[in-house]
Amino acid sequence: MRRSVPDAGLEFDGEMLVPRDNLIAYRQMYALEGWLRRICLAAWMARFGTEWSQAIDPGLRKSLADRVQRNRKRLYLGAESHGDLIWQATYSELVRMLVADSVADAITSLTGANSDFLEAKLDEIREIRNLLAHNRAFSERTRIILSGLLASLEEAVGTFKARVLYGPSEILDDDDGWLGSRLARLLEGNDWSRFQAFVAKRREFIEYVSLPVDRKGGWPDAGSLLRAFRDHIDGIVAFCLNKTGYEFIVLTPAMLSEESHAAVCDTFAKNPDVWTNVHFEAQQPRFVCSPRIWFYENRPPFDAESF
């Protein structure tokens, strides 16, 4: 009779045994690093606006810019290959930008975490990330250590989501300065049954919100959004898409110049046709997985007020 043996967490891929913990860890690291890069961009743009890249250490900026040029030669591969400098950064360079003195206050404001804490935890994760990158099979101990590190950063990422995606916002109208007045003027005579929109302020950001209405396509098309705003992309932190469709937000730093705010506002007010019947999961990965595309739930998956 064959003896039962403990499940070691291995499964065959053809003739190769693959540790399931490695597959799980890769997915966790992919998600964490994606949020870290989004946090980094949001902080730098909140602090410096469209000029954020000029504030980076010159040597680092040159290395990143050179990498952008090299990566443009790989567009034929059809993968996401965004030109944002932060998405060209290695892990070490990303950590360096996250803990830079020039954005320390912005990082703490958005995440609740200070630079020393982030640097220590991200340095620990670096060692596990290197094991994963070099196909070293994880053990139970590796999994436990990684779980603890991820948990230690969960509050910082959760705080960022609560403050930037789910926190309270103040709608700007005719009585709230020139930007609210500009959008109201641009929408004079608007058919509100086809385009319901407003502009609001949330912490260090301005958001242009397109609400659900009766339309043919219920899903914002990521590629169409990126193309519609491509002339103003340097002033946009992200396009935040409701996971259930029908709604999106254009997120910009509040400290943009008046000219940059006006350009984004004018394009938004034209109600560009960015809608499709194709669900997010079926859209082209190179667009829908762009670092400028973020997603949010109808309701926060946590108590946002606690942050």
pLDDT score at 88: 87
Same domain, 275 and 251: yes
Same domain, 236 and 156: no
pLDDT score at 97: 96
pLDDT score at 229: 96
Same domain, 212 and 255: yes
CATH number of domain containing 261 = 3.90.1150
DSSP states of 230-281: GGGGGG--EEEEETTSS-EEEEEETTS-HHHHHHHHHHHHT----EESS-GG
pLDDT score at 215: 85
Same domain, 65 and 160: yes
Rounded CA gap, 71 and 201, in Å? 35
Identify whether the C-beta of residue 274 lies closer than 8 Å to the C-beta of residue 282: no
Same domain, 90 and 214: no
Angle between helix 91-98 and helix 20-48 axes, rounded to 10 deg: 40
Mark which of 164, 179, 207 sits at the end of a domain: 164
Mark which of 147, 164, 181 sits at the end of a domain: 164
Same domain, 130 and 192: no
pTM surpassing 0.85? yes
Q: Is residue 1 part of a domain?
A: no
Closest among 107, 222, 207, 206 to 157, alpha carbons compared: 107
pLDDT tens for the chain, residues 1 to 307: 455 555 668 889 899 999 999 999 999 999 999 999 999 999 999 999 999 999 999 999 999 888 888 877 665 555 555 567 888 899 999 999 999 999 999 999 999 999 999 999 999 999 999 999 888 998 888 989 999 999 999 999 999 999 999 989 999 987 667 899 999 999 999 999 999 999 999 999 999 999 999 888 899 999 999 999 999 999 999 999 999 999 999 999 999 999 999 999 999 999 999 999 999 999 999 899 998 999 999 888 777 666 6
Place of tokens 């020393």: 116
Same domain, 130 and 175: no
Closest among 242, 236, 241, 292 to 264, alpha carbons compared: 236
Q: Is residue 60 part of a domain?
A: yes
Same domain, 143 and 278: no
Same domain, 142 and 180: no
Rg of the chain over all Cα atoms, to the nearest angstrom: 21
* Domain count along the chain: 2
* Burial degree of 61 (CB within 10 A; 0-12, 13-18, 19+): middle
pLDDT score at 112: 95
pLDDT score at 78: 57
Mark which of 112, 138, 164 sits at the end of a domain: 164
Rounded CA gap, 222 and 157, in Å? 23
Q: Is residue 208 part of a domain?
A: yes
Domain extent at residue 146:
10-164
Rounded CA gap, 255 and 50, in Å? 9
Q: Is residue 5 part of a domain?
A: no
Same domain, 195 and 65: no
Residue type, 270: K
Place of tokens 């898409």: 241
pLDDT score at 85: 85
Q: Is residue 225 part of a domain?
A: yes
pLDDT score at 68: 83
Rounded CA gap, 261 and 207, in Å? 11
Same domain, 27 and 150: yes
pLDDT score at 234: 92
Place of tokens 């959760």: 158
**Eight-state DSSP code of residue 81:** -
Same domain, 300 and 209: yes
